[in-house]
Structure 1
Amino acid sequence: MATRVVIVPGNGCGQVEQCNWYAWARDEINKKYEGVECILRPMPDPDMARESIWIPFMRDELCCDEQTLIIGDCSGSEATMRFVESYKVHSIILVSPCVTDLGEENEKLSGYYDRPWEWAKMRSNTQSITVFGSTDDPYIKWAEMQEVIDNLNPELHKFHDRGHFEVATFPELIPTVGRRVHQK
């Protein structure tokens, strides 16, 4: 059973309380699931989202461990995937994940994309994996998400009308979190 949920935002979200669905999801999770604490904190280096800074922060400051469900959004998904290559967690939920720097210099400098993804390690270091993605995402082509899906065999929530999930609420996320946190 997970006792902690950590939301790892996408890059560019320095003000996490006002960005997308993050604060709404934190509040819903904290309200609905007794004994589970959902954490949302500003990430260091929010614009570059460098792996060399985010992974230690996730480990040391957010205390991601075997009782933690990590929800990663966009760049937060890539940070989450790299994190579980090295560390065990309870489960992960990836929102709009990708596998390349998308031709963006800022993404390239983050450090997530300069080596092969270690899919087997990711699968062995977590009890369950869920992916939320939308075929009409304006930033990440479906083929990027499909590669994650093909290699991680997650529970998939595929949409055709959600774009990049840049919304104030994300109601489909909450029951998925509930199933995951109660999973032994």
Structure 2
Amino acid sequence: MKALFIHGNGGCTASHHWYKSAARELSTLGLEVILETFPDNVIAHRDIWLDFMEKQLGGDSKVILIGHSSGALAAMRYAETHSLIGSVLVSACHTDLGDPTEQASGFYDTHWQWEAIKANQQWIIQFHSEDDHLIPVEEARFVREQLTPEYYEFKNRGHFMGSDSGGKDFPELVAAIKQKLQERNALSQLETQDVFTRTRT
């Protein structure tokens, strides 16, 4: 099972914010963690990023996507056409907010396929903060209404960057993913027991 981190645009890299810390924690859970700086990390053109994700994952459906900011956009767009285990959306939005760089990315050029995004994965977790200075909380709440994820809203975490409250760690994200994995393992054990019981009878 893989976990692919997708950082934000504006020159963000795999070494920024809480990515490395979360990646280390998730690797201890038995996940194959992929944390690399994406090409075109200033504008983050949709076609370049989705192609990079396709090559990294090779069409594997046993994957968890962890997208921050523009990375959350990439995670949602990828899920429109690919099967996943689940995704974590941090500081997600659904419009370009009138920003020229966001407009140039191409992520907003087509309508969002909300139902496909939901249908192609088992679960979605979403994080946002009321004081996010880049993406208004109303944007995240709209995404929440469309995707009905497991939603966590903070008051003082900003855009979940290194300079925001929380700094280099994001324990809530790790804990939420760990819980999903535990639920998955418990379900698998129940299914195995059920098969064993039916076989004996």
**TM-score after normalising by structure 2:** 0.85
Is 1:21 the counterpart of 2:18? The answer is yes
Matched with 1:58 is: 53
Aligned residue pairs total 179
Q: Is the 8 A contact 1:101 1:113 kept in 2?
A: yes
Shift of 1:95: 0.2
Q: Is the 8 A contact 1:99 1:144 kept in 2?
A: yes
More strand by share: 1
Distance in 2 of aligned mates of 1:15 and 1:149:
27
Aligned pairs (5 A) from 1:74-153: 74-153=69-148
Distance in 2 of aligned mates of 1:127 and 1:121:
12
Shift of 1:13: 4.2
Q: CA RMSD in A?
A: 1.3
More helix by share: 2
Q: Is the 8 A contact 2:7 2:67 kept in 1?
A: yes
Matched with 2:160 is: 165
Q: Is the 8 A contact 2:2 2:33 kept in 1?
A: yes
Tell me the amino acid that sits aligned with residue 172 of structure 2: E
1:103-124 CA distance string (max 9 Å, x none): 1111101001122110000000
Tell me the amino acid that sits aligned with residue 180 of structure 1: K
Is 1:41 the counterpart of 2:33? The answer is no
Q: Is the 8 A contact 1:64 1:89 kept in 2?
A: no
Distance in 2 of aligned mates of 1:110 and 1:63:
23
Is 1:5 the counterpart of 2:9? The answer is no
Distance in 1 of aligned mates of 2:11 and 2:181:
25
Structure 1 unpaired stretches of 5+: none
**Relative to 1, partners in 2 of residues 1:41 and 1:64: Cα closer, same or farther, differing over 3 Å?**
farther
Q: Which secondary structure does the structure 1 equivalent of 2:95 belong to?
A: coil
Distance in 1 of aligned mates of 2:89 and 2:12:
19
Shift of 1:63: 3.7
Identical aligned pairs, as a percentage? 36
Q: Is the 8 A contact 1:69 1:180 kept in 2?
A: no
**Relative to 1, partners in 2 of residues 1:161 and 1:43: Cα closer, same or farther, differing over 3 Å?**
same
Q: Which structure: larger Rg?
A: 2
Is 1:180 the counterpart of 2:180? The answer is yes
Q: Which secondary structure does the structure 1 equivalent of 2:122 belong to?
A: strand
Structure 2 unpaired stretches of 5+: 162-166, 189-201
Q: Which has the higher contact order (CA 8 A, sep 6+)?
A: 1
| Structure 1 runs of 4+ with >6 Å offset | none
Q: Is the 8 A contact 1:54 1:79 kept in 2?
A: yes
Shift of 1:14: 4.4
Tell me the amino acid that sits aligned with residue 173 of structure 2: L
Shift of 1:64: 5.8
Q: Which secondary structure does the structure 1 equivalent of 2:106 belong to?
A: coil
Q: Is the 8 A contact 1:91 1:180 kept in 2?
A: no
Q: Is the 8 A contact 1:69 1:89 kept in 2?
A: yes
Shift of 1:65: 2.9
